[in-house]
Structure 1
Amino acid sequence: MTSFSDSLFKKLWLTVTATILVTVLYSFLLSYLFYEKLYVDIVEKSLIEEGNRLAGDYSGGPLTNELKERIEWYNEKSESEVFLVSNPKELSACLPYAIDYSTLIGKEEREQLLNGEPVFKSGFEERFGRKILSVAIPLLDNSRLEGIIYLYVPLAKISELTVDFSFLWLIGGVTFIVIAAFLGFKMLHKLTRPLAAMKEAAERVSIGDYSARVDIQSKDEIGQLARAFNHMSESIQKEDEKKREFLADVSHELRTPISYIKGYSEALETGMITNSVEQQKYLKLINREAGRMVKIVADLLDLSRLDADEYKLVKSPFSLAQLIEDFIIKYGPALGEKKIALSLELDPDIIINGDEGRMEQIFQNLIDNSIRYTDCEGEICIRLSKHSYGCLLEIKDTGIGIPEEDIKNLTNRFYRVNKGRSRADGGTGLGLAIADKIVQLHEGKMEIVSKLGEGTTVKIYFPIVLI
């Protein structure tokens, strides 16, 4: 069973949920800080505007009682505390908490006041249990500091200002987290369901069940991965079926000659055959079947090398017509034995770049079939001509022909239209498969046209070397 930490779905869900939670908390903290800064800026601006309005009533000279009374009256009406002093040291007597004058208005602050600039001060006061924000507005007469209007206000705690805001934030944040976690759960479950299905299908494939497929429900990367998995599984299944069929065919093909060899050799060994003529006959049969086994094994080795891309061609330019003329000479006795007429129509100017030995292997497989399946006094015509593809080689016979439904399977391994006849004549059922592979290695293509009872034509197209 998969543990919690091993589940991709649970890891993604926890990651998404944690990200949402951190985002909500960060947003709350950020808005908290911004709100507090905004509040402090508003208070500072309000204090300096308030102080400047009061300072506007000062027309110069020593501070008058009328101005002091006006400031006192304003102090009673204002939410902030306002004092008017002629000497900064008098602030220690006006403020409702103990202060150090030197820290309140120092040398630098006094210079600011003499330059007509307000002085801001802030700090936490334990007596009020909160932060104090203050501003000193200078009253100047010809660059002489005649007095100071001092305003201060205890800043409200952000929790007091944002109690409703925080409560709504809490409710909204919790609701958002719950909804987002639920939707994330649903979304991730749907997202990872194909991955879980692929995991199960991969486990089935690993134990040999190649029929496993994944249901494709999307066109995104996961859907593409599912399609790739299905394609892989289908390919493995086909290859497995081919392998099973191939092994069955090989065992079937080898079983016949092996059984013949075993039966004939046992008959000779036990002395059942005493006649020398019969003994020679049996020895010929054993030799024929042994040769057949050698041919099957050699053809299988060629096919395995072709499938593994280990079949290396040694290519060079040569005249295809000359190769065919030289090669066909060795078939004279076989053609004469069946009184088969051979006609050649070869264009001597056609040059191809290929492996002469492998080309002969193609011709051998095709001409062997033509002679084998053409009755006595039949005809075989070999024609070589130029074509838009490059060149066209046609091997046409007047043999027994092939049923139309079998033509597409002729290049499959061990496929025979008439298996009984093929075995009697010594065929392995691999020749056309090998020929087709070699043609493809020469960048060519092979077509087979046939009509039952009338004969067969094999067409091979090759690229040519332009001179």
Structure 2
Amino acid sequence: MKFVPGSLFKKLWLTITASILITILYSFLLSYLFYEKLYVDQEEKSLLEEGNRLALDYKGGPLSDKLKKDIEWYNGKSESEVFVVNSPRELSACLPFDINYETLVGPEERDKLLAGEAVTKKGYEERFDRKIVAVLVPLLDGDRLEGIIYLYVPLARISELTHDFSLLWLMGGAAFIIIAVYLGFKMTGRLTKPLIDMKRAAENVSQGDYSTRVEIQSNDEVGQLASAFNHMSRSIEEEDERKRDFLADVSHELRTPISYIKGYSEALASGFIKKASEQDKYLKLINREASRMVQLVADLLDLSRIDAGQYRLEKHLFPLAQLIEDFSQKYVPTMEEKQITFQTSLDPDIIMNGDEARIEQILQNIMDNAIRYTDNGGVIRLSLSKHPYGCLLELTDTGIGIPPEDLSSITRRFYRVNKARSRSDGGTGLGLSITEKLVRLHGGRLEIESVMGKGTKVKVLFPVL
């Protein structure tokens, strides 16, 4: 992993390193805060407790020699400096450093002492080259201030408190920084590697290599992003394959009728065909192939508009049974010609809010398939009934059926069960694809069931009022 100017890796690594250094600095500053808050406060509390215990030996009246000797003895045993004076004026003479007694005991402090309250003093002293903390405990006899017990101690520096392990602390801190920065480097590299891989993969995809995938190394947000990228790349690859298949299918579908039209028209134009009956036959073939091309182009335009979201339904309320009955009449001659028995069972109470022209287009596509693939003497049943979904339109035929392996793909564009693509037994291959999309636009669902040699059942579920 290497630094790239302005790279995310560099930014993350510097952020982690800065965070570590700030944390250590913050910890260092906190140590001084604890020094002030814990150590100094503890020393002050300890001096105050010492002074109050010593003051318990005072029984009133002028200070006795015994009390002074006892405190002097205690001073020799105590870590703090302790002495007793009769008045604030004597403090300056007893202290080992120069200080004005009026500065040490001002009017406010004197009032506190007279009220029986101890006075605490903190400040820097040049003689000790450090701060000291002092406590003045009053010795009262009624309202008279007979004496003051003075206790003070120079405060140790934090470096002195940690003298024994300061070097170890310094070495440990340096080791911690090195380890933390190294781990931060490795962790940052691990975090940014999928992003770098995705950047490279995106560049490959932009150059047309849709097979590129990113290795998923975690299940966090970065891992989910990698998964989403793989899904996107896979979808683009599939869409590209569909586009190529679509163009190949369109080319295949148009090439044959164009070849027929070109060949038949050249034969007619060259005068090679003399008989009027033959000319009429070739003209009908040209007309048939031209009609096929017109239908193919119309279907392609419909699919393109649906996919682009430009297909608008003109919905209104109408009785669905009446539309089905009127529509079915135009197929009666064809079914009579093939001797197909047509049976209907339609619920007249079903009212639908939809586009009549598109519903009729759906009916036409499934009816054309039923008649085309039902042999002479077969049966076609068309029913309309209420259903929990809304209503159920069901078309059943006794045709040749659809193989099970083809059922899941039957609504794909240009898909034919007959892989030879014979036009004598198939349309453009777009009818069911358009049908499924129109059904979905109406909020419905298309289901197809089939058994080879027994027939096919097409179910269309629509929501109703």
Interval of TM-score (by shorter of Structure 1 and Structure 2) = 0.7 to 0.9
Deviation at 1:97, TM superposition (A): 2.5
Deviations 1:74-128 (A, max 9, x none): 5455443344333322322332332223212211222222222222222111222
Counterpart CA distance in 2 for 1:255 and 1:402 is: 27
Counterpart CA distance in 2 for 1:436 and 1:368 is: 15
Deviation at 1:374, TM superposition (A): 4.5
Give matches, 1:427-466, under 5 Å: 427-442=427-442, 443-452=444-453, 456-463=455-462, 465=464
Counterpart CA distance in 2 for 1:15 and 1:47 is: 47
Q: Which residue of structure 2 lines up, in the alignment, with residue 142 of structure 1? A: 142
TM-score, length of structure 1 as denominator length: 0.85
Alpha-carbon distance change, 289 to 179 in structure 1, aligned in 2, over 3 angstroms: same
Q: State yes or no: 1:294 paired with 2:289.
A: no
Q: State the secondary structure of the residue aligned to 2:423.
A: helix
Q: Which residue of structure 1 lines up, in the alignment, with residue 123 of structure 2? A: 123
Deviations 1:232-261 (A, max 9, x none): 222222111111101111111112222333
Q: Which residue of structure 1 lines up, in the alignment, with residue 190 of structure 2? A: 190
Give matches, 1:381-400, under 5 Å: 381-386=380-385, 388=387, 390-398=391-399, 400=400
Matched to 2:369, the amino acid is N
Give matches, 1:286-365, under 5 Å: 286-335=286-335, 338-349=337-348, 351-353=350-352, 354-365=354-365
Counterpart CA distance in 2 for 1:339 and 1:129 is: 120
- Number of matched pairs: 461
Residues 439 and 446 in structure 1, CA contact (< 8 A), matched pair in contact too: no
Alpha-carbon distance change, 97 to 282 in structure 1, aligned in 2, over 3 angstroms: same
Deviation at 1:291, TM superposition (A): 2.2
Deviation at 1:319, TM superposition (A): 4.0
Counterpart CA distance in 1 for 2:71 and 2:192 is: 73
TM-score, length of structure 2 as denominator length: 0.86
Counterpart CA distance in 2 for 1:440 and 1:224 is: 31
Residues 422 and 428 in structure 1, CA contact (< 8 A), matched pair in contact too: no
Deviation at 1:325, TM superposition (A): 3.2
Deviation at 1:387, TM superposition (A): 6.2
Give matches, 1:7-406, under 5 Å: 7-267=7-267, 281-335=281-335, 338-349=337-348, 351-353=350-352, 354-374=354-374, 377-386=376-385, 388=387, 390-398=391-399, 400-406=400-406
Greater shift after overlay, 437-446 or 272-281?
272-281
Q: State the secondary structure of the residue aligned to 1:423.
A: coil
Counterpart CA distance in 1 for 2:33 and 2:4 is: 38
Counterpart CA distance in 2 for 1:63 and 1:245 is: 114
Residues 194 and 226 in structure 1, CA contact (< 8 A), matched pair in contact too: yes
Counterpart CA distance in 1 for 2:140 and 2:24 is: 51
Unaligned stretches of 5+ in structure 1? none
Greater shift after overlay, 39-48 or 66-75?
66-75
Deviation at 1:144, TM superposition (A): 1.7
Deviations 1:304-324 (A, max 9, x none): 223234333334444444333
Alpha-carbon distance change, 280 to 157 in structure 1, aligned in 2, over 3 angstroms: same
Alpha-carbon distance change, 457 to 119 in structure 1, aligned in 2, over 3 angstroms: closer
Q: State the secondary structure of the residue aligned to 1:415.
A: coil
Residues 321 and 384 in structure 2, CA contact (< 8 A), matched pair in contact too: no
Matched to 2:394, the amino acid is L
Alpha-carbon distance change, 311 to 123 in structure 1, aligned in 2, over 3 angstroms: same
